[in-house]
C-alpha cells in the first residue's frame, strides 16, 4: 500500500530515537523530591524523548489514515477500516496524554511542588487505559480487516490481532 511503508518507517525511527534519548523515570512510589531531582538532572533528554514520541504517534495516526483508505476499498471491511482509524485516534490521544505528563515534569521540574511532581509522575507511569484501549481496538480491527480483505498478507493480519491483544 502506497505510503504506509514510509509512514511506518518514520514512526519506527522516531520511536527508537525516543527510547534512546530517555532515562528510566522514578518508580511510582518515588517521593516528590526524588521526582523533582530526577527530572532536573535529566530534563533535556526527557523533553527530547517526549517530543519524539509526540511526532512518532502523529505519524502513526497518518499511517492509520492511509491504511483505512486502502482497507475500505474492500466493501466487507468498510466498518472495520473506520473502527481501525478510530482505535488509532484513541491510541494516539492516550499516548500523547501519557507522554504529556512526563513532558510537563521535564519542562519545569524546579517550579513544581514535590507533591505535584509526585502526582504527575504517577499519572505519567500509570495512565495507560486510553492507550491500551486504543491499541486494542486498532490492532484487532486492523487485523480482522486485513484477514477479510486479503489486500495484505494473512500473517500481517494475525500479527496485528496479537499486537492488539
Residues in CB range of 8: below 8 A, 6 or more apart: 63
Condensed to tens digits (0 to 9), the pLDDT of residues 129-145 reads: 999 999 999 999 999 99
Condensed to tens digits (0 to 9), the pLDDT of residues 30-79 reads: 999 999 999 999 999 999 999 999 999 999 999 999 999 999 989 999 99
Distance CA 37, CA 6 (A): 39
Confidence of residue 5 (pLDDT cuts 50, 70, 90): confident
Q: What is the pLDDT of residue 38?
A: 96
Q: H/E element holding 145?
A: helix 129-149
Extract the C-alpha cell encoding 138: 486498532
Local structure of 128: helix, strand or coil: coil
Residue 128 CB neighbour total at 10 angstroms = 12
2, pLDDT greater than 90: no
Q: H/E element holding 103?
A: helix 78-107
Average pLDDT over the chain, rounded to an integer? 94
Amino acid at each position: 500500500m502506497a505510503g504506509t511503508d514510509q509512514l511506518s518507517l518514520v514512526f519506527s525511527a522516531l520511536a527508537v530515537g525516543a527510547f534512546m534519548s530517555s532515562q528510566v523515570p522514578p518508580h511510582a512510589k518515588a517521593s516528590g523530591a526524588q521526582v523533582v531531582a530526577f527530572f532536573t538532572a535529566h530534563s533535556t533528554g526527557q523533553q527530547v524523548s517526549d517530543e519524539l514520541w509526540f511526532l512518532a504517534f502523529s505519524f502513526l495516526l497518518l499511517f492509520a489514515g492511509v491504511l483505512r483508505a486502502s482497507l475500505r476499498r474492500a466493501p466487507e471491511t468498510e466498518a472495520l477500516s473506520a473502527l481501525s482509524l478510530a482505535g488509532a485516534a484513541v491510541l494516539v490521544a492516550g499516548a500523547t496524554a501519557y507522554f504529556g505528563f512526563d513532558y510537563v515534569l521535564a519542562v519545569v521540574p524546579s517550579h513544581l511542588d514535590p507533591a505535584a511532581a509526585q502526582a504527575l509522575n504517577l499519572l505519567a507511569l500509570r495512565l495507560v487505559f486510553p492507550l491500551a484501549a486504543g491499541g486494542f481496538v486498532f490492532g484487532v480491527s486492523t487485523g480482522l480487516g486485513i484477514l477479510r480483505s486479503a489486500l495484505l498478507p494473512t500473517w500481517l493480519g494475525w500479527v496485528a490481532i496479537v499486537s492488539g491483544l
